[in-house]
Structure 1
Amino acid sequence: MLLGVIADDFTGASDIANTIAKGLPGQGGLRTAQFLGVPRKETTSDIEAGVIALKSRSIAAADAVAQSLEALHWLLAHGCRQVVFKYCSTFDSTPTGNIGPVAEALAEALDAHGVIACPAFPAAGRTVYQGHLFVHDRLLNESGLQNHPLNPMTDPDIRRWLTRQSRYPVGLVTWSSVRAGPAEITAKLRKAHGSGQRLVIVDALGDDDLVAIGTAAASAKLITGGSGVAMGLPANFIAAGLARGSTSLGIGVDGPEAILAGSCSGATRGQVERHQQKHPTLAIDVDSVMRGDTTASDLVSFVLGNHGKAPLVFSSGSPDEVSRLQGRYGRDAIAETLDALFADTARKLVSAGVRRLVVAGGETSGAVVTALDLGALTIGPEIDPGVPVVISTGQAPVAMALKSGNFGAPDFFVKALDRMAGR
């Protein structure tokens, strides 16, 4: 294994696995597998990149550090020459969150300095300029992410945000240096190291910037960021003769389908509204769930009763509705209850024969794949930027799309089901 990734949620793991498997046009990527948690079994020797998906974004920092270090040790034991710590391209984290502590712990374990921190993903509208994170043409704190139910983003200055979480000063490589090319980026990172800056925000406005950053990171022990930061990394291994370049498999799984949406992001709410126009949908009544009146069996009955119609079950609500419910029951209580509901629903659906499953929302996806315990996942074709089909192994494979709440086109749900089936 050449490249190892530690992802702080399951949708992000699929996102970066897709980036690595795809690589650059004309070159191809690395043979990539995604693991749901630190693997307990040996992997096949032909894997060139291993992506470990943790559910560590919103847990206690000490627990996130411990899980990430366990993943690091497994990757190093399997020969990884370079490690990426993958977090969300909208930097989902609180001022006391996990990105800084995990990144610094990994850096110390690897004795890495001047470590790149770049959440940019231009294909999804996430860019970094002068250390400030934008979502399309809006600063992060004006993009709707300030209303995130778990990790509200109220400051677009991610250098300042990361500094609140870190023990060392945080540096910045501006876009003018990035545009000057890999050599200038490397020089700025070394200068940051000399100034005692362990983590360094690196600006990026386009894919060509990410490729330059990847080239500059050819010898880096550790890189941190969104999936885009891995765009140029496969090319380094191919140029060094360590990999030949491969493409993601165009395989498909047909069969009964279901869509579970637990994200409250604007993109997911728009996708739900689009899907409602032509397909059966069931809105989860959170009050009923919290009282114990609505259970997974109710959701399963709805899905199985609408076989072949792309049925959707969703808990997505407006910011005002989310705020009202959190005020009544508590943020953590709602999140844990809904995660458990979706997990139990997914487990029952797969047991009942569902073979195509779309899941929207990072926390929801984490709960679902943990419950299903499918083992290693093969990276299949891309559905929309940042979201590939992932397929389990075994005699009864399950195809899934694990979608970050903010990703995907308006028609994502139907498109995902078609792509899973090879259409």
Structure 2
Amino acid sequence: MKSCKGIMKPVFGVVADDLTGGMETAAMLIAAGIDCAFVTDPELVATIGDIPAIVVAQKTRVIPADEAVARSGKAARALLARGARQIFFKYCATFDSTDRGNIGPVADMLMQLTGADHTAFCPASPSLRRTVYNGHLFLGTELISDSPKRNDPLTPMTDPDLVRVLQRQTPTRVGLLAHPSVSAGPAHLEQAIASATGQGVRYFITDAIYDRDLDVLAELTSDWKLMTGNATIVQHYPAIWKAQGLVAPTSNRARLPAVDGSGVVLAGSCAERTLEQLAEFERHRPVLRMNLLAADDVGSAVGVALDWVRPRLKDGPIAISTSESPEVVKMVQERYGREGAAQLAETILGRLAVSLRGAGVRRFVVAGGETSGSIVDHLGIRSLRVGPYGGPGIGTATTDDADPIALCLKSGKLGPVDLFMTTLKSMLNPEDAN
């Protein structure tokens, strides 16, 4: 699939609203034998060689909606300028957003930019027990509004009805592709969509309970100009592309180089899973839990942390965390404001990452999407070489330079309890991890 200039037109262009999800998406494609580039700067898209998939991941999930629209639009325009056959807007399986956005406003812009008549929203990840039924989002057996996500410090999810959630974010009419239609197959879904679009519906929340539902939805949407959702449905596209002759069949699974040097965990997520992972890591290695209520300013907080780190780093990996329980998070937000509290934590960890790299740290595990974005920004990283998907929360990458660093950018909600230590070890010998 070549352009008039002889450069491959990507089959798939991803606009991701955070770096952890973007890395996961790239890793899934690579594991399926699809070469995929990963950049954080849209300006780099024009410099990428022949490749069937490109992910542009930026920290846009919780910034003001107009800024998210502008930054996501820049990414999408860069991908379309390369001739991307389809744009995929990637967001979290828990549909992290507020009444201001940012999913709805960004989707509105992408609809206009791509010229799509309609699109669907598929956050479900059945293998992780994130399912949608009758338009309601479940985490396991709980509605999302009854789960720990109701206490998210930035995007508390208190309404499980995604049709209502999205409709509050957009003037575009939102409907539902209910499970009976999904289970009936693509032909039935096309009829349902034609009927609903005739009544003015342009956005469709998709029910999905089983992985086979994602097969159906991928078949339905594989030729759409615009599709949106969580990374899980992306795993169902490569087989379709190969069957259609859009990409060459391959079993290639790109390997990452080994990276030595010291290892550090930087945790900013307040998700229950991250707190559990920190507790497990602390059974073996030291953890510094930073008290943001006691932080006079960023510089002094970073200095205190570095004084703690220096005598310990030579003995093995350590962790530094601003993660807190919902009760402590509430107190920090009361002092600094919701956005101010988040920015303080992200800036401290970002500046720490720069100092740690200067001190010889070359292996980083970062917990939290916003934290990951801040750290990558502070480190000045604009592109990464992503390894094959190893399961939820286990995507890893390296910088592509003479003195590479290895990173695992993980969602705060995902990954096995022992992820921190095992991932740092795997970076020393990626072959053993695959």
Structure 1 length-normalised TM: 0.94
Confirm whether residue 341 of structure 1 aligns to residue 348 of structure 2: yes
Residue identity opposite 1:253 in structure 2: V
- Match among 56, 73, 78 for residue 74 of structure 1: 78
Q: Which one is further off, 125-134 or 381-390?
A: 381-390
- Secondary structure at 1:268's aligned position in 2? helix
User: 1:101: Cα distance to partner?
Assistant: 0.8
Match of 1:286 in 2: 292
Change (3 A) 1:303 1:175: farther
- Secondary structure at 2:193's aligned position in 1? helix
- Deviation string 1:119-158 (CA, Å, 9 cap, x unpaired) is 1112222111111111111110111001000111100101
- Match among 376, 380, 383 for residue 383 of structure 2: 376
User: 1:111: Cα distance to partner?
Assistant: 1.6
User: 1:301: Cα distance to partner?
Assistant: 4.0
Q: Which one is further off, 314-323 or 12-21?
A: 12-21
- Match among 85, 92, 100 for residue 104 of structure 2: 100
Residues 24-423 of structure 1 aligned to structure 2 (within 5 Å): 28-40=32-44, 42-244=46-248, 245-251=250-256, 252-291=258-297, 294-307=300-313, 308-421=315-428, 422=430, 423=432
- Secondary structure at 1:85's aligned position in 2? strand
- Deviation string 1:323-376 (CA, Å, 9 cap, x unpaired) is 112112222221111111111111121222211100001110110011112222
User: 1:405: Cα distance to partner?
Assistant: 0.9
Consecutive unaligned residues in structure 2, runs of 5 or more: 1-9
In structure 2, distance between residues paired with 1:340 and 1:139: 33
Q: Is the 8 A contact 2:150 2:158 kept in 1?
A: yes
In structure 2, distance between residues paired with 1:90 and 1:290: 34
Q: Which one is further off, 235-244 or 76-85?
A: 235-244
- Secondary structure at 2:238's aligned position in 1? helix
Consecutive unaligned residues in structure 1, runs of 5 or more: 23-27
Identical-pair percentage:
39
Q: Is the 8 A contact 2:46 2:82 kept in 1?
A: no
Structure 2 length-normalised TM: 0.92
Q: Which one is further off, 252-261 or 130-139?
A: 252-261
Q: Is the 8 A contact 2:92 2:230 kept in 1?
A: yes
Q: Which one is further off, 344-353 or 263-272?
A: 344-353
User: 1:206: Cα distance to partner?
Assistant: 2.1
Q: Is the 8 A contact 1:381 1:419 kept in 2?
A: no
- Deviation string 1:144-185 (CA, Å, 9 cap, x unpaired) is 001000111100101110000011110111112211222223
- Deviation string 1:63-121 (CA, Å, 9 cap, x unpaired) is 11111111111001112100100111111111112100111110121121230101111
User: 1:46: Cα distance to partner?
Assistant: 3.0
User: 1:246: Cα distance to partner?
Assistant: 4.5
- Secondary structure at 1:92's aligned position in 2? coil
Q: Is the 8 A contact 2:298 2:348 kept in 1?
A: no
- Match among 9, 21, 26 for residue 30 of structure 2: 21
Match of 1:25 in 2: none
Match of 2:21 in 1: 12
Count of aligned residue pairs for this structure pair: 418
In structure 1, distance between residues paired with 2:179 and 2:148: 25
Q: Is the 8 A contact 1:123 1:385 kept in 2?
A: no
Residue identity opposite 1:5 in structure 2: V
- Secondary structure at 1:127's aligned position in 2? strand
User: 1:303: Cα distance to partner?
Assistant: 3.5
Change (3 A) 1:53 1:290: farther
Change (3 A) 1:231 1:384: closer
- Secondary structure at 1:401's aligned position in 2? strand
Q: Is the 8 A contact 2:41 2:383 kept in 1?
A: no
User: 1:60: Cα distance to partner?
Assistant: 1.3
